Structure 1
Amino acid sequence: MEALIAFVLLIGGSYLAGGWVGGSGWPWVPDWFAARPWLLPVTVGVLTTPFLAAEPFVRYAVHRWELSGDVVYARTGFLTREWVFVPVSRIQTVDKAQGWLERALGLATLEIRTASHAGSSTIKGLDYAVAAGLAERLAHRAEQLRDDAT
């Protein structure tokens, strides 16, 4: 969704820039462009639409998470990959977060925090019910494992 917001801002900015440059009367601006300032936002839209359309599919292909036994596994990244293994026994807090756009779409972000920043993980774009259930299971499992360790 951040890509859609960036796309709208980019189109709006190019529209304003095209109108400003086209109406300025600068001698270095070609006459064909000064007469058609709408070409800049149209060109920007045509060139960026394929990226906007492909972004959800790429994100779906590269972002993974799994809760197996006593470890939460999360993988992110397209060009560079990051794998995070969070032992459930090390979890200190499990938080659900919803921005206004996530709330409108019924999604949530799950933040799993440990004492170490490197061991913490964030899982974005989960269905709200899945995030709530996973947060509850992780909190209960972490409490059980801490009770066993002491």
Structure 2
Amino acid sequence: MRLWLLEALIGFAFFLGGSLLVSRWVGGSGWSWVPGWFAANSWLLPAAVVVVTLPLLVAEPFVRYSVHRWELSGDVVYARSGFLTREWVFVPVSRIQTVDKGQGWFERMLGLATLEIRTASHAGSSTIKGLDYEVAAGLAEQLAHRAEALRDDAT
């Protein structure tokens, strides 16, 4: 959840900063193509950004955390994710071709990793984001061994 909260905070800061720049630019220059009411009340843009995005900033990390799940059974990896839309993916272990783990900047700061499970079909591939680094490393190794043991003739 820390990862999604950090990402939401960074996004909010960019939106707010961009709206402040635009409002100062519009309010200070008096461009002729900008409606007069907007140039006189350019502070409304950052206020609108705060009103619209602040509830999303608060809700999104908690909703993502409550929805984001994964499970490894004997022969299937199940992953569920989403915020506005939900996605359920079942990946047969015998169809796994590669298992990769990666870390973005924020994940590295928080000691997390993303696990990418790839099959020959794009629709059968899955990404599990925000795992503890040690859990991701262990799961990647476990999946690689299980995939090798369960390998069938996938043609």
Question: What TM-score results when the alignment is normalised by the length of structure 2?
Answer: 0.83
Q: Which residue of 2 aligns with 1:24?
A: 29
Distance 1:90 1:46 in 2: 46
Corresponding position: 1:102 with 2:145: no
Give me the whole-angstrom Cα distance separating, in 1, the residues matched to 2:95 and 2:78: 13
Residue by residue over 1:86-136, the C-alpha shift from the partner in whole angstroms, topping out at 9 and shown as x without a partner, is 111111110001011110111110000111111110111111111111111
The match for 1:66 is 71
Of the candidates 105, 117, 120, which is equivalent to residue 115 of structure 1?
A: 120
Q: Secondary structure at the match of 1:118?
A: helix
1:12-91 alignment runs, 5 A limit: 12-26=17-31, 28-30=35-37, 34=40, 37-38=42-43, 40-91=45-96
CA distance in 2, matches of 1:96, 1:53: 28
Alpha carbons of structure 1 residues 59 and 9: separation in structure 2 relative to 1, 3 Å: same
How far 1:17 sits from its partner (Å)?
0.7
Q: C-alpha displacement at 1:38, in angstroms?
A: 4.7
Measured against aligned partners, the alpha-carbon deviations of 1:52-108 in whole angstroms (never above 9, x if no partner) come to 011111101222110011100011234433221111111111000101111011111
5+ residue gaps, structure 1, are none
Q: TM-score, normalised by structure 1?
A: 0.85
Unaligned runs of 5+ in 2: 1-5
Identity among equivalent positions (%) equals 76
Greater relative CO (CA pairs within 8 A, separation 6+): 2
Q: Which runs of structure 1 show a deviation greater than 6 angstroms over 4 or more consecutive aligned residues? A: none
Aligned residues: 146
